[in-house]
Amino acid sequence: MLADAWNYVLAHPAQFATAFYVHVALSGAALALAAALAIPAGIAAARTPRVALAAVGAANIGRTLPSLAVLALVMPLLGTGFAPSLFALTLLGLPPILLNTIAGLQGVDPDVVDAARGMGMAPRTVLTRVELPLAMPVMFAGLRTAAVQVISGAVLAAFIGGGGLGDFITAGIAMMAWPQILVGAIPVTLLALGTDFAFGRVQRRLTPAGLRAP
Amino acid sequence: MIRLEALTKRFADAAAPAVDALSLDIGEGEICVLIGPSGCGKTTTMRMINRLIEPDAGRILIGGRDVTGEDPVTLRRSVGYVIQQVGLFPHMTIAENVATVPRLLGWDAARIARRVDELLERVHMDPARYRDRYPRALSGGQKQRVGVARALAADPPVMLMDEPFGALDPLTRTALQDEFLRILRELKKTIVFVTHDMDEALKMGTRIALLRAGRLVQYARPEAMLARPADDFVREFVGADRALKRLALLRTGDHATPGAPSGPLPRVRSDASLREALAALLDADADTATVIDTHGAAVATITLAAIRGVAGAANDPA
């Protein structure tokens, strides 16, 4: 069956390459958008405990919504294609990044922040020189979770004409053609695992030396 | 050097003000200890001086300058700040931690590096060994040494210290108290020192301000507070053993009678405290002891009666 899947790829190289490219572009763009929205929102929310609590609540509700339900809700509003898929996947990526940004900032030792303020750091300096570097490992872990979710969630974009590797899976299911399902499923799995591994390495590198295990 | 005028702070959810029209004058080079039971407003008062808490009313003058209207960020760079939990930046090296305020002030790298080494030496942390380490690798006492070095970095005339030795074990605490007392006296800093420990207050303070419910109950030199407590609250707060505490603050040489006695008597150094002299007399079951100078020569006599006289003065309700 694996050989059949491989032969399928060899028989349709352009189609596979396009699907792979669309999948990566869709996931990458969604992750970047989600981070661009959720990180500043998380920083703003973490300043006020009450706002942070509300944001965490909202993010947790967002996280429990099935991805398919998000797509089903998006389709009647935005139609089909790349843009609605991007919108849905961005929504999918927001909660883990938002939650971990808030958790990371709230996890910074208040005595350290008090010392920073007491020595005359302006609020922005406290954020950039003390809070963000110390919250970075937790924040990046959120980005890593979001990346894996968005890459695997992007399979569902095929349902609303967003393209990507999900196309092979949905077509394969429709025709009960196992090799074709694998043509979609195996690269998505490898992509998700590879991203998780690569982000893990970056996360370790971004962890300040003073915080790393000796 | 520091002058608080009718300083008042009421927190939003509290019925009574945390600090209630508090006025205090702290002279240059003084170590003013703010002490009192928890909730008396001592920490709030200290945190108003560098405007980490904004006063509701009243003025703060530092070196004659009203700082109540100044930019708090600029103000804090000229006021050293040391807290109990130290608050070293865990992601920065020891050198980077000490360099915090000089960096904020825009000193050049060479000047900062020189200053960091100088300060680490002053607090007995070998620069070559510790400069590039991270706070995680330090013991509690070492962390507070670095904390004090960091607060001294830009040579601020005024320092605020909030229970700086409160989290240390008794041996380390005593060692650091002695060491920092010496450093702070050398540098002639004006210090506001918050503690809840009367023994620490008596040891560190040149003046003690005893607070209760946001008000100043008594402001006096340690010896005077022990000898003449303002009221029953002060008397209770300083403790039933205040006669002994007071003896610990007084030098034997100051209360001895000149002239060396003859005969085998216990010997006490003239720079020892009267408490130590009393212990020596009780140990030897003697009424009289020989007071010797730093070279070991007998110069005076101290008697049990003389010590009792000094101690008794503390027990007279003044």
Question: Is-contact B272 B301, C-beta < 8 A?
Answer: no
Q: Please, which residues have CB within 8 angstroms of residue B123's CB and are 6 or more apart in sequence?
A: B145, B146, B148, B149, B179, B183
User: Which pLDDT score, from 0 to 100, does residue B315 have?
Assistant: 52
Which of B87, B91, B93 lies closest to A133 in CB terms? Answer: B91
Of B73, B136, B151, the CB nearest to A210: B136
Q: How far is B285 from chain A (nearest CA, A)?
A: 52
Question: How many structural domains are present in chain A?
Answer: 1
- HEC secondary structure over A191-211: HHHHHHHHHHHHHHHHCCHHH
Q: What is the pLDDT of residue B296?
A: 83
Q: Could you read off the pLDDT of B217-269 as tens digits, one per residue?
A: 999 999 889 888 899 999 888 877 777 888 888 888 888 888 877 777 888 88
Judged on CB neighbours under 10 Å (0-12, 13-18, 19+), B14 is: exposed
How far is it, in rounded angstroms, from Cα A84 to Cα A118? 48
What amino acid is encoded at A99 in this protein? L
Residue B48 burial by Cβ neighbours in a 10 Å radius (0-12, 13-18, 19+): buried
> What span, in angstroms and rounded, lies between the C-alpha atoms of B183 and B104?
24
Q: Which residues of chain A have a CB within 8 Å of the CB of B50?
A: 118
* Contacts by A43-47, CB closer than 8 A, 24 or more apart: A43/A101, A43/A105, A43/A127, A43/A132, A45/A98, A45/A102, A46/A101, A46/A102, A46/A105, A46/A106
Please, what is the average pLDDT of chain B? 90
Asked whether the beta carbons of A195 and A148 are under 8 A apart, the reply is yes
CB of B41 less than 8 A from some CB of A: no
B207 SS3 class: strand
Instruction: State the virtual CA torsion across B250, B145, B150, B114 in degrees, nearest 10.
Output: 100
Summarize pLDDT for B82-117 with one digit per residue, the tens: 999 999 999 999 999 999 999 999 999 999 999 999
pLDDT at residue A162, rounded to an integer: 87
Q: Which residues of B touch A208 (CB under 8 A)?
A: 90-91
Amino acid at B63: G
DSSP string of B66-88, one letter each residue: E-TTS-HHHHHTTEEEEETT---
Specify the pTM: 0.84
Tell me the HSE value of A75 on the side-chain side, using a 13 A CA sphere.
14
- Between CA A99 and CA A109 the distance in angstroms is 18
Which of B73, B81, B93 lies closest to A122 in CB terms? B73
Chain B CB contacts of A119 below 8 Å: 76-77, 81, 100-101, 104, 150-151
> pLDDT > 90: what percent of chain B?
59
- Contact (CB<8Å) A112/B77: no
Whether A204 is covered by a domain: the verdict is: yes
- Distance between CA atoms of A17 and A165, rounded to whole angstroms? 9
pLDDT value, residue B69:
86
Please write the tens of the pLDDT for every residue from A116-151: 999 999 999 999 999 999 999 999 999 999 999 999
Please give the share of chain A, as a percent, with pLDDT higher than 70.
99
* Cα B43 to Cα B162: distance, rounded to the nearest angstrom: 7
Q: Which candidate from B77, B91, B147 shows the least CB-CB separation from A210? A: B91
Which residue from B minimizes the CA distance to A121?
B73
Shortest CA gap B64–chain A (Å): 21
**Does residue B299 have a pLDDT over 90?**
no
Q: Residue A25 sits in a domain of what CATH number?
A: 1.10.3720.10
Residue A94 identity (one-letter amino acid): L
Query: A213 in a domain, yes or no?
Result: no
Give me the residue from A112, A114, A209 closest to B134, CB to CB: A209
User: What's A75-105 look like in SS3?
Assistant: HHHHCCCHHHHHHHHHHHHHHHHHHHHHHHH
**Amino acid, res. A111:** D
Residue of A nearest to B104 (CA): A121
By three-state DSSP, how is residue B263 classified?
coil
Give a yes or no: residue A214 inside a domain: no
Q: Which residue of A has its CA nearest to B80?
A: A119
Q: Tell me, what's the pLDDT at A213? A: 66
Best B70, B84, B91, B160 member to test A by mutation, with max A CBs in 10 Å, is B91
Strand B267-269 relative to strand B19-26, pairing: unpaired
pLDDT tens column, B4-42 = 999 999 998 888 899 999 999 999 999 999 999 988 999
Q: Do A119 and B74 touch (CB under 8 A)?
A: no
Least Cα separation, residue B126 to chain A (angstroms):
19
Residue A109 is part of which domain span?
Answer: 2-208
> Hey, are the CB atoms on B101 and A125 less than 8 Å from each other?
no
In a domain, A45, yes or no: yes
Backbone torsion region of residue B162, taken as left when φ is above 0, otherwise alpha when ψ lies between -120 and 50, otherwise beta: beta
- pLDDT band of B317, cuts 50, 70, 90: very low
Look over chain A and give the mean of its residue pLDDT values, rounded to a whole number: 91
Name the band, by pLDDT with cuts 50, 70 and 90, for residue B318: very low
Position A129 scores a pLDDT of 95
CB pairs under 8 A between A and B: 75
Structure confidence by residue, pLDDT tens digits, A15-68: 999 999 999 999 999 999 999 999 999 999 998 888 999 988 988 888 888 877
Residue of B74, B87, B134 with shortest CB distance to A120: B74
B151 and A119 in contact by Cβ < 8 A? yes
Assigned token pair, B140: 């509690």
Does residue A135 sit within a domain? yes
Beta-strand relationship, B288-292 and B267-269: parallel
> Alpha-carbon Rg of chain B, whole angstroms?
22
Test A210 with B135 for CB contact under 8 angstroms.
yes
Among B313, B145, B130, smallest CA distance to B229 is for B313
3-state secondary structure B138-200: CCHHHHHHHHHHHHHCCCCCEEEEECCCCCCCHHHHHHHHHHHHHHHHHHCCEEEEECCCHHH
Residue A136: inside a domain, yes or no?
yes
pLDDT at A116: 97
Pick from B112, B165, B114: which is nearest to B140 by CA? B165
Q: Is residue A65 part of a domain?
A: yes
